[in-house]
């Protein structure tokens, strides 16, 4: 039966490759806009699927289900709270990004601060991609493909060697997309793989519920809702990886970076044909994120009810479930869909990385007069090198002390908050000086590193909850002490139509309602039971203190802007008189 799995896998994968080639064959790949941004021609549906597929790879499918298996529905916060960040992106930041005509986030950092800040941010992004994100995508993908194809038993390779071989295979195929087709090829493949992922992703929890109900779907649903109601509680206690006080603080801050400022995610929004299409894509992705928990979290809960604590590690929950419940005839299709998700994350992150390298590092440092054709060529060479580095690092992820998803998110903590601080302060404070960006990066990395030493047992989301306020405060203080002489002005590049989508605000309100509804359903007022010590006084105190600090920094920000603008007005009046 193995040949059936391989045949269905090959047919689906080859079709997606052909579709991507067909849809991109008329795009000019010799220009930076054509290669890096798909010719600024992407529609809302394409953007939505590309956002989801870049986000949804096996590191998330395996990692989040693994966390749910070991904990509870509390980990659905990574999915269900994402619409808040996507609303911020659609209504506040995307109009500014498209107005400026950005190609990269560091591009804005140079305009607002200076070239060195742009390059430091680009290097931080690239290091993160090389040592954390891309290797985790490859490693988690190897786990799933091994489970479906039984490659360990077929090849007799050691786990380390097998991960290396599978990672190299993924890397080679991905380079074909990125080097030949650029962003548009990746985005088009995402459209097809997105449809397949929805079908295949929902198939696993449905089949798992049938297995839980011993052949009866309704029985499986009944067992899920009644066997262990505390596992269904979405409000994590003190021991949870997502304690409830961080949902509107550290988790929100982390999501804002990921969905509104992470180059590998938002690059496809820079390629939107206009603001309305960009907003549609971002908000449609938000709708998908709420329902994504059905195959990113629920299978982990079902796996716990089926297997108890018998699995070797939490990250084995999803691969084990796939092997046990999926008919052999469908295994090839699911493998192809998951393979597409792996390629999507790898492709789009590689594309973002080479955009950063070509436009933010190579051109300004090594060859300012480089032609667009040369920048594309250099980017392709860099993609090859980065792919090799990621393949080499991937097998070592198996030695990470925590789960896949936790490892990835904690590594992002080293650089995500100063990026948020620089962008928010950059847009909404006109007088903060250029050197403030460099200072806040150093301050944050030092403080976050110290937290890993002295607060090693404290959940990193608690740390992020405090550090964003600290980062913004540092920049505002520097602005009060030494304001820039001329206010920053965001010029209109006039590259795309900036007319907003007329239903953007109404759709955003709808997202908030269904997000709240999801939390109410998976809570003690819905189908869940409260966990022991879920609402300890210390958590309440932390939330109150945290929100107070954020409020004080917000007040200081407002008063600083007001004071600096008043001082500037007085200075201008003095010059006139």
What is the DSSP annotation of 193-205? HHHHHHHHHHHHH
CATH code: domain of residue 433: 1.20.1730.10
Confidence category of residue 212, pLDDT binned at 50, 70, 90: very high
Q: DSSP string spanning 506-568?
A: HHHHHHHHHHHHHHHHTSTTTT--PPTTTT-HHHHHHHHHHHHHHHHHHHHHHHHHHHHHHHH
Instruction: Say whether pLDDT at 32 is over 50.
Output: no
Exposure string over 120-152, b if 16+ CB within 10 A, otherwise e: bbbbbbbebbbbbbbbbbbbbbbbbbbbbbebe
Q: How far apart are the C-alpha atoms of 99 and 95, rounded to whole Å?
A: 6
Name the nearest CA neighbour of 234 among 286, 298, 186, 179.
Answer: 298
Mean pLDDT is lowest, of 39-43, 135-139, 410-414, for 39-43
Which has the closest alpha carbon to 151: 163, 169, 135, 167?
Answer: 163
The mean per-residue pLDDT over the stretch 390-415 comes to 75
The angle formed by the CA atoms of residues 490, 483 and 363, to the nearest 5 degrees, is 50
Nearest partner of 269 among 40, 23, 112, 20, judged by Cα: 40
Mean pLDDT of the chain: 83
Mean pLDDT on 540-562:
93
Most confident listed range (86-100, 161-175, 185-199, 400-414): 86-100
Summarize the confidence of residues 250-258 as an average pLDDT. 93
Tell me how far apart the alpha carbons of residues 502 and 277 are, in angstroms, rounded to a whole number.
Answer: 11
Cα four-point dihedral sign 68, 71, 76, 77: negative
The answer to whether residue 205 scores a pLDDT higher than 60 is yes
Instruction: Return the residue matching tokens 């991609």.
Output: 129
Instruction: Give the helix ranges, DSSP H, for 43-158.
Output: 44-55, 58-70, 77-80, 82-88, 94-100, 105-112, 115-128, 134-149, 151-155
pLDDT of 253 over the 90 cut: yes
Burial class (CB in 10 A: 0-12, 13-18, 19+), 344: buried
> Going by C-beta distance under 8 Å and a sequence separation of 6 or more, which residues neighbour residue 61?
140, 144, 201, 295, 296, 318, 338, 341
Q: Which of 513 and 119 is assigned the larger pLDDT?
A: 513
For 511, the domain range is 2-576
Q: Which of 139-148, 157-166, 254-263, 447-456 has the lowest mean pLDDT?
A: 139-148
Q: Is 489 exposed, middle or buried (0-12, 13-18, 19+ CB in 10 A)?
A: exposed
DSSP 236: B
pLDDT > 70 in the chain, percent: 85
Task: Please give the residue that has the higher pLDDT: either 147 or 558.
Answer: 558
pLDDT for 534 beyond 80: no
* Residue 576: half-sphere exposure toward Cβ, Cα within 13 Å: 6
What confidence category does residue 519 fall into, taking pLDDT thresholds of 50, 70 and 90?
very high
Number of domain units in the chain: 1
Q: How far apart are CA 282 and CA 263, in angstroms?
A: 14
Residues whose CB is less than 8 angstroms from the CB of residue 546 and which lie 6 or more positions away in sequence, other chains included: 245, 249, 465, 466, 469
| More confident position, 127 or 95 | 95
pLDDT tens, residue by residue, 473-498? 999 999 999 988 888 888 888 888 89
Q: Binning pLDDT at 50, 70 and 90, where does residue 518 land?
A: very high
DSSP conformation class of 274? B
Cβ-based neighbours of 500, under 8 Å, separated by 6 or more: 95, 275, 276, 279
Which is more confidently placed, 173 or 525?
525
Classify 273 as helix, strand or coil. coil
Higher pLDDT, 134 or 279: 279
Supply the pLDDT for residue 88: 96
How high is the pLDDT of residue 264? 75
Max mean pLDDT among 31-35, 235-239, 379-383, 450-454 falls in: 450-454
Reported pTM: 0.83
Question: What digits encode the pLDDT tens for the residues 339-365?
Answer: 777 777 777 777 778 878 888 888 888
Please report the pLDDT score of residue 349 as a whole number: 77
Percent of the chain predicted with pLDDT > 90:
37
**DSSP designation for 428:** H
pLDDT classification of 432: cutoffs 50, 70, 90: very high
- Where residue 36 falls among pLDDT bands split at 50, 70, 90? very low
pLDDT at 40: 62
């Amino acid at each position: 039966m193995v040949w059936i799995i391989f045949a269905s896998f090959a047919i689906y994968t080859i079709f997606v490759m052909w579709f991507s080639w067909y849809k991109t064959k008329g795009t000019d790949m010799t220009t930076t806009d054509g290669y890096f941004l798909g010719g600024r021609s992407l529609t809302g549906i394409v953007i939505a699927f590309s956002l989801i597929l870049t986000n949804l790879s096996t590191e998330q499918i395996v990692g989040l289900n693994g966390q749910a298996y070991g904990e509870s529905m509390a980990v659905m916060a990574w999915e269900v709270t994402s619409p808040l960040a996507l609303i911020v992106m659609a209504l506040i930041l995307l109009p500014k990004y498209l107005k400026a005509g950005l190609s990269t986030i560091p591009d804005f950092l140079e305009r607002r601060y200076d070239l060195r800040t742009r390059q430091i941010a680009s290097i931080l992004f690239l290091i993160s991609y090389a040592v954390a994100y891309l290797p985790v995508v490859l490693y988690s993908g190897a786990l799933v493909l091994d489970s479906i194809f039984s490659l360990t038993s077929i090849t007799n390779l050691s786990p380390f060697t097998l991960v290396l071989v599978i990672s190299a295979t993924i890397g080679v195929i991905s380079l074909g997309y990125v080097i030949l087709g650029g962003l548009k090829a990746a985005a088009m493949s995402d459209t097809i793989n997105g449809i397949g992922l929805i079908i295949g992703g929902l198939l696993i929890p449905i089949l798992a519920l049938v297995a839980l109900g011993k052949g009866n779907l309704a029985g499986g649903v009944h067992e899920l809702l009644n066997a262990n109601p505390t596992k269904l509680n979405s409000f994590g206690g003190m021991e949870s990886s997502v304690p409830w006080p961080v949902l509107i603080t550290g988790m929100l801050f982390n999501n804002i970076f990921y969905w509104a400022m992470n180059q590998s995610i938002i690059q496809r929004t820079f390629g939107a044909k206009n603001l309305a299409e960009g907003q549609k894509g971002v908000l449609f992705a938000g709708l998908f994120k709420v329902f994504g928990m059905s195959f990113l979290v629920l299978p982990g809960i079902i796996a716990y009810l089926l297997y108890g604590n018998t699995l070797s590690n939490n990250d084995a929950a999803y691969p084990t479930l796939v092997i046990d419940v999926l008919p052999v005839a469908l295994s090839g299709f699911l493998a192809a869909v998951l393979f597409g998700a792996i390629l999507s994350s790898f492709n789009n992150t590689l594309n973002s990385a080479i955009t950063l390298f070509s436009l933010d590092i190579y051109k300004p440092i090594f060859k300012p007069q480089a032609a667009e054709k040369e920048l594309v060529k250099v980017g392709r060479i860099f993609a090859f090198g980065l792919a090799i580095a990621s393949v080499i690092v991937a097998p070592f992820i198996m030695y990470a002390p925590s789960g896949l998803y936790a490892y990835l998110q904690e590594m992002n903590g080293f650089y995500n908050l100063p990026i948020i601080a620089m962008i928010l302060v950059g847009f909404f404070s006109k007088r903060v000086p250029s050197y403030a960006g460099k200072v806040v990066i150093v301050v944050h990395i030092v403080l976050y590193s110290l937290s890993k030493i002295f607060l090693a047992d404290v959940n990193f989301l608690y740390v992020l909850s405090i550090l964003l306020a600290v980062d913004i405060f540092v920049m505002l203080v520097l602005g009060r002490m030494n304001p820039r002489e001329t206010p920053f002005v965001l010029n209109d590049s006039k590259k795309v139509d900036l007319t907003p989508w007329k239903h953007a605000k109404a759709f955003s309100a709808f997202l908030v309602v269904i997000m709240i509804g999801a939390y109410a359903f998976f809570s003690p007022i819905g189908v869940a039971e409260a966990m022991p010590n879920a609402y300890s006084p210390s958590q309440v105190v932390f939330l109150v203190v945290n929100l107070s600090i954020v409020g004080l920094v917000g007040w200081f920000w407002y008063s600083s802007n007001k004071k600096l603008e008043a001082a500037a007005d007085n200075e201008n009046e003095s010059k006139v008189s």
